[in-house]
Amino acid sequence: MMTTTEIETWRKQLVSLARQYDKRTSDLLEEAAHGLGGESGGGLSDSPIHLGDLGNAQQEEEIDLTLMENEKRLFEECNAALGRIDAGAFGLCEECRRPIGKGRLEACPYARCCLACARLRESCEAR
């Protein structure tokens, strides 16, 4: 069982992580929102851009969107962990209801499962 001090330490860490993920999501969204060329895209003129540059820009935009989705998912995981703190279930495995090891929480403070259940879940998903 965690002490009130430990729970509050985890809460502060999760709030900080959630803010970081939210900021990165906003930054990536802003970056992805920039156009691909011409004045409407933030360029200096309405001259068409080279097709090679267009392909690179589209690829960069796809990467930014993928990163943004990941940051958003991590933000949501932090918020879910904060909800578990409020519900008194933080640090308990969602599968077996045993305590999640301190080392696992230090590595992944929003972990939903203990290491054994996480490994089992991953092996089932890999099939």
Query: What range does the domain containing 18 cover?
Result: 1-90
CA nearest 91: which of 74, 73, 77, 104?
104
Are residues 111 and 84 both part of a single domain? no
Q: Are residues 110 and 61 in the same domain?
A: no
Residue 5, pLDDT score: 96
pLDDT digits (tens, 9 = 90+) for 16-66: 999 999 999 888 888 766 655 544 444 444 455 555 555 666 777 788 788
* Total count of domains within the chain: 2
One domain, residues 101 and 75: no
Cross-strand bridge partners of residue 92:
99
**pLDDT per position as a tens digit, 39-48:** 444 444 445 5
Shared domain for 7 and 48, answered yes or no, is: yes
Output the pTM of the full model.
0.76
N-term to C-term CA, the chain: 35
pLDDT score recorded for residue 18: 97
